[in-house]
Structure 1
Amino acid sequence: MSTTTDTETRVDPAWWSWEGAHGGHVAALALTAVRDRFPGGAHPVRTLTTHYLAPVDGSPLHFSGTAPAAPGRRTATCVFTGHQNGTPVVLGSALFGARRQGVPYAQPAPRLPGPEDSPLLRLPTELSPFSQQLEIRPPTADRPLAGGERAELTAWIRFLDGRPLDAAAVVTLTDVLPPALYAVWDTPRPVPTAELTVHLTDVLDEGAVDGWALVTIRTEHAGGGWAVDDSVVRAADGRLLALARQSRVVRPQPAAGTVNS
């Protein structure tokens, strides 16, 4: 036996990206739909994987999914699909799991200046409209489109609407910085996400965290028109909230005057 559900939502235009809806925000919408509709969503989410089949636009977005009915189990997996106008645009899965006993371990947080000692960074509205919903303060010298030597960006980030850092917000944060390759490039080009997997830690088991998050994104390798980005999201006190990895398509640089595609 399995349970199925269907829910409808729309992407807030404030969360638009270069070619459509912001991928991290779409993944967060999927998580919210699954968590609120499936019995297994009573457990904390551990992993969320989202495949982007087509750009998500402003049309109604319908999420439907299936999860095995397994009463009493401490883990539950839901497979979901997002449709617009009858066409699948998102496909993914969410793994939920109850808290268990275990030996805790965490890598220490990097020592960096705090947000109050870091300059404000404003990303170009035409490239990332969604960034206007965020306050971004990099504590390092790395900047987007600065032609640096390493493909890595780090910033303190908080939502201007004051929302707490729950699982959906943290999923969004894994994808809010520019692609890490922007740190070594000096001109922009589209680098859309094809797949995003987010692993959330037990820090969120007791509820949302308030305040700033420290977000880092880096590219270990790019080639053949593809890149792999790894993201880390930490709470202001250094606790690890999530690790993420995404596969990106590296597209050719658009001709002058065609930034918005």
Structure 2
Amino acid sequence: MTPHAETPVDPLWWSWEGAHGGWVAGAALTAVRDAFTGGHRPVRSLTTHFLAPVGTGPLRFSGTAPAAGRSTVTCLFTGHQDGEPALVGSALFGPRRTGPGYDGLPAPDVPGPDDCPPLHLPVEQVPFARQLEIRPATADRPLAGGPRAELLAWIRFRDGRGLGAAAVTTLADALPPALYARWRTPRPVPTAELTVHFTDALDDEAPEGWALVRIRTDHAGGGWAVDDSAVWSADRRLLATGRQARVVREPRDRRPPGGPGAGQTAAGTVNS
């Protein structure tokens, strides 16, 4: 049996030339969980490979249904738009279990959001930035030519949505690419693949309000970069970690937003 699901693309989450990659991955997770698992299993990981830009039309998902009776299941899915595959991926679902705990990635010791100044991303380039309030928690800023490829900021959704798994997936890709902290000139750094691992902090009621988000690049070369991200709740619980493979392109003229184009934003996705 191959279940099907459909979800509209929210125009509020438009990026340079297409839908924001983190939002697309979160929308895929919601569609897959509701259609293929009944929506009752906590998600443990989500991997999304972006094959083509996501435009304004609805995304239609097909995927494998989990075998009945299994507590841990993996769903493979494909997202189509206008009859063509735009993304493929997998989601792992499994119930909460008893076992030892360990916190090897504590939240950085930084001031709270009320003590951090706001950051306004250029909405003419990344319209989705209107949906977020961003407050950098360190001195690092995009396009400031700093010494390290890392950005750390408090972020919250302006519509007040809770920090469920789909929202956390969006936040894992909400900041500019970490290399922007070292550069002074923007260039496209599209995401080819994004994987997010979720913690048990999301098993029950979704946290609300601010999240602390960090993104950093430990290596870039050969036209590729690997970004690692982490998302913590306002009370400093780790919610998820992410890793994405990015294509580092040469600077080019930007198209004005407002409709589907040949690629997507440096903070979103494009086909490589």
Q: How does the TM-score come out when normalised to structure 2?
A: 0.91
> 1:258 Cα shift?
5.0
How far is 1:143 from its partner? Answer: 0.2
Quick one: distance in 2 between partners of 1:165 and 1:83? 27
Whole-angstrom CA distance in 1 between matches of 2:38 and 2:112? 37
Aligned position for 1:91: 88
User: Is 1:218 the equivalent of 2:216?
Assistant: yes
Whole-angstrom distance in 2 between the partners of 1:82 and 1:220: 31
Greater strand share, structure number: 1
* CA deviations over 1:11-53 (Å, ceiling 9, x no partner): 1111011231100000011000011112364210000000000
Paired residues of 1:231 and 1:245 also in contact (CA < 8 A): yes
Q: For residue 11 of structure 1, what is the aligned residue in structure 2? A: 9
In structure 1, what is the Cα distance between the partners aligned to 2:93 and 2:163? Answer: 18
Partners of 1:113 and 1:149 in 2: how far apart? 21
Residues 89-168 of structure 1 correspond to what in structure 2 (within 5 A)? 89-107=86-104, 108-168=106-166
- Aligned AA (1:79): L
- Counterpart amino acid of 1:165? L
> 1:195 and 2:159 equivalent?
no
Q: Which has the higher contact order (CA 8 A, sep 6+)?
A: 2
Match of 1:246 in 2: 244
Q: 1:50-83 CA deviation, whole Å, 9 max, x = no partner?
A: 0000010001211111133131x22011000000
Aligned residues between the structures: 257
**Matches of 1:63 and 1:23, distance apart in 2:** 16
Report the secondary structure of 1:142's partner residue. Answer: coil
Offset, 1:259: 6.8
1:149-173 alpha-carbon deviations (Å, 9 max, x no partner): 1000000000000001011100110
Q: Name the residue aligned to 2:206.
A: 208
CA distance in 1, matches of 2:163, 2:58: 26
- After superposing on structure 2, the runs of 4+ consecutive aligned residues of structure 1 that deviate more than 6 Å are none
Q: Percent identity?
A: 69
Structure 2 runs not aligned, ≥5 long: 262-272
> Structure 2 CA distance, aligned partners of 1:176 and 1:64?
26
- The amino acid of 2:225's aligned partner reads A
> Residue 21 of structure 1 aligns with which residue?
19
Q: Over the residues paired in the alignment, what is the CA RMSD in angstroms?
A: 1.3
Q: Are the counterparts in 2 of residues 119 and 137 from structure 1 also a CA contact under 8 Å?
A: yes
Query: Unmatched 5+ residue regions in structure 1?
Result: none
Give the equivalent residue in structure 1 for 2:33: 35
